[in-house]
Structure 1
């Protein structure tokens, strides 16, 4: 069990900014994420296959991106937060050698449900790789 404390709903304010998180994009992260999510499409682990499809290198799949989004939110919210919704949209691809920087802010608070909505983006050198919202229930 982790010693990290979970944020309390009462302590979260509308407009609160989450600490930025930088994720170095590596071949290992891309290929490992594809394997972990059972996505064996060659463009995620074979550079020649990716180039044959017009990409300069292997690129990250959406399931790995989803996991990184979840990790970003959990780093801020803590281990006892409960995800109730995740909506993301992909943009610029993540290629090895780049860095993705997550940022986000609390865009809604629901007093009755003790939920917050976090609007987020993960950007790399080409623009936004991922944008979206995550709804999290807090104690």
Structure 2
């Protein structure tokens, strides 16, 4: 059964060390080959003190923060973020979140061969992330939390 959540609940913070490896691996994984994400000299030539994290890596870390908290059955429905201060190597990204809305939603079972319908709760979470420079990311995440005990069959 899904644990009881309330509007206003704070998620525990998650601190992520920002390493060169994380920045470069995130850029490669998201096929973002812009030199400012892997080449320090090129980043400096373009006015940055060092390489910096791309938005897709930040987006993935925000998603990880939510699914780490709500568990493996949580399904991200929408992730909308805005970047602020860059994430440079050697800093720490600290993510925090607060539930701003809870609503009931119907979701089809993950098993496509089944006619089972699952009652689910959707949570909307306001997420912020800061580093040593300031606010790196702000955003809103909608996540569906299936309730196994509320399963029913039907079309």
- When the two structures are superposed, what TM-score results if normalisation uses the length of structure 1? 0.91
Q: 1:119 aligns with which of 117, 120, 126?
A: 126
Matched, 1:75 2:72: no
Structure with the largest fraction of strand:
2
Structure with the largest fraction of helix:
1
CA distances 1:76-104 after superposition (whole Å, capped 9, x unpaired):
01011111111100000000011010000
- When the two structures are superposed, what TM-score results if normalisation uses the length of structure 2? 0.82
Cα distance between partner residues in 1 of 2:40 and 2:10:
37
Stretches of structure 1 lacking an aligned partner (at least 5 in a row): 1-6
Cα distance between partner residues in 2 of 1:131 and 1:94:
13
RMSD (CA atoms): 1.2
Higher relative contact order (CA closer than 8 Å, sequence separation 6+): 1
Cα distance between partner residues in 2 of 1:84 and 1:35:
24
Cα distance between partner residues in 2 of 1:76 and 1:93:
25
Q: CA deviation at 1:11?
A: 1.1
CA distances 1:44-89 after superposition (whole Å, capped 9, x unpaired):
0000010011000000000100110011001101011111111100
Matched residue SS, 1:86: strand
